[in-house]
Amino acid sequence: MKVIFIKDLKKQAKKGDIKEVKDGYAENFLIKNGYATPLTEKNLEKVKEEKEAKKKEEIELTKQAEELKQTLEKITLIFKVKTGEHDKVFGSVSPKQIKEELLKKGYKIDKKQIELTTSLQSLGFHKVMITLYKEVKAELKVQLVK
């Protein structure tokens, strides 16, 4: 019997997959527990519509992330830090501080999206990567001043 999976099933199939399974397994486990439906034209059409809607949503989210990337790359965040001898910075600027500064400017970015390859412990300009959506990454400029 051919079935269309409507939920992910660990080590078996992903949502939207079409597989040939034994009749008893399909009827007594997959269909009964809501993991799959029998393969019919109506069900196949429904799965195709869901895939199209998901694809359109992906395109829209990517487009929004690209627009946000364009605006973020024009911004320079300036942090006043305390310094000691020879302009050595006390502590460093954290992703949380960057997130709060972006929030003040009206951008809602989660601190998990902010990637620091090195700690920001020296005066001057630094580049910080922000993952906006899947492959869309923005390069934010951060400046540390006395």
Q: Work out the pLDDT band at 47, boundaries 50, 70, 90.
A: confident
Q: Work out the pLDDT band at 145, boundaries 50, 70, 90.
A: very high
Residues 79 and 37 in one domain: no
Residues 56 and 79 in one domain: no
Residues 98 and 140 in one domain: yes
Residue 127: give the domain boundaries. 67-145
Residues 76 and 120 in one domain: yes
Number of domains observed in the structure of the chain:
2
Non-local (6+) Cβ contacts of 15 within 8 A are 5, 6, 7, 8
Answer yes or no: are the C-beta atoms of 67 and 133 closer than 8 Å.
no
Burial classification of residue 126, based on how many CB atoms lie within 10 Å of its CB (0-12 exposed, 13-18 middle, 19 or more buried): buried
Adjacent-strand bridge partners of 125: 143
- Average pLDDT value for residue range 94-112: 93
Residues 73 and 124 in one domain: yes
Residues 9 and 76 in one domain: no
Residues 50 and 74 in one domain: no
Q: Quick one: pLDDT at residue 121? A: 87
Residues 95 and 32 in one domain: no
86: number of Cβ within 10 Å: 5
Q: Quick one: pLDDT at residue 74? A: 93
One-letter amino acid for residue 39 of the chain: L
One-letter amino acid for residue 83 of the chain: T
Non-local (6+) Cβ contacts of 101 within 8 A are 77, 79
How far, rounded to the nearest angstrom, does the alpha carbon of residue 103 sit from its chain's CA centroid? Answer: 18
- C-alpha span between 55 and 60 (Å, rounded): 9
What is this structure's pTM? Answer: 0.72
Two structure tokens written together for 38: 């029998």
How many helices (H) and strands (E) in the chain? 3, 7
Q: Quick one: pLDDT at residue 84? A: 85
Q: Work out the pLDDT band at 59, boundaries 50, 70, 90.
A: very high
Residues 71 and 117 in one domain: yes
